[in-house]
Amino acid sequence: MSDTICVGTVSGAFGVQGEVRLKSFTADPEAIADYAPLTTEDGSRSFDIQLTRAVKGGFAARLSGVRSKEDADALRGTRLFAPRDRLPALPDDEFYHADLIGLSVQDTGGAVLGTVKAVLNHGAADLLEVQVPGASTTVLLPFTQAAVPTVDLASGRIVADPPDGLFE
């Protein structure tokens, strides 16, 4: 497991005064500022955050060291990370998406179905995008108790009971 978790991303500039449009990935979107300072993925830059107002798709925010529209535009697409130890502990049946990516997915008989490539949410519930071994295709597995009865982070695997025909 990584020592940092992606908690948001910079979508681009907001206005001409150096504010950025910030998309939060935290359960309480405004809590992203509580985990500051946030860093870039490689840790080369660190930012203090001040949320200024809610805007469509996230927040307008001021980041330390960002003073102009050009500075803000240069950060477009930058993912922001917080140290894992600054984030709240999760209940036993909840997981950070970063911890699920890369886990092996096996059926209840132990046969390998693939590897978790991404965790998606299009509104209803989370879906695990599973990369099928030896194929260029992926399968979207519902991340529900019925379809995924076991997540074993310690051994790096997920036991799935997928709906009939999903992996055929």
Closest residue by Cα to residue 26 from 2, 53, 58, 1 = 58
Would you say residue 1 has pLDDT above 70?
no
For 142-154, what is the mean pLDDT?
A: 91
Residue 57: how many other CB atoms lie within 10 Å: 9
CATH of domain 97-160: 2.30.30.240
| Boundaries of every domain in the chain | 4-86, 97-160
For 86-107, what is the mean pLDDT?
A: 87
- CA torsion 59-63-68-71 (nearest 10°) is -100
| pLDDT score for 2 | 66
Residue 94: how many other CB atoms lie within 10 Å: 9
Residue 73's pLDDT band, with cuts at 50, 70 and 90, is: very high
DSSP string, the chain: --SEEEEEEEEEEETTTTEEEEEE-SSSGGGGGGGPSEE-TTSS-EE-EEEEEEETTEEEEEETT--SHHHHHHTTT-EEEEEGGGSPPPPTT---HHHHTT-EEEETTS-EEEEEEEEEESSSSEEEEEEPTTSS-EEEEE-STTT--EEETTTTEEEE-PPTTTT-
Please provide the size of the chain in residues: 168
4-86 and 97-160: identical CATH topology: no
pTM of the model: 0.74
* Maximum distance among all Cα pairs of the chain, rounded to whole angstroms: 58
- Would you say 113 and 103 are in contact if contact means Cβ atoms under 8 Å apart? no
Q: What is the chain's mean pLDDT, rounded?
A: 90
Lowest mean pLDDT among 21-30, 48-57, 121-130: 121-130
How do residues 101-124 score in pLDDT, each as one tens digit? 999 999 999 899 999 999 988 777
% of the chain beyond a pLDDT of 70? 99
| pLDDT score for 59 | 95
Token pair for 162:
């997928």
Residue 34's pLDDT band, with cuts at 50, 70 and 90, is: very high
**Fold exhibited by the domain 4-86:** Elongation Factor Tu (Ef-tu); domain 3 (2.40.30)
Token pair for 118:
């991404």
For 73-97, what is the mean pLDDT?
A: 89
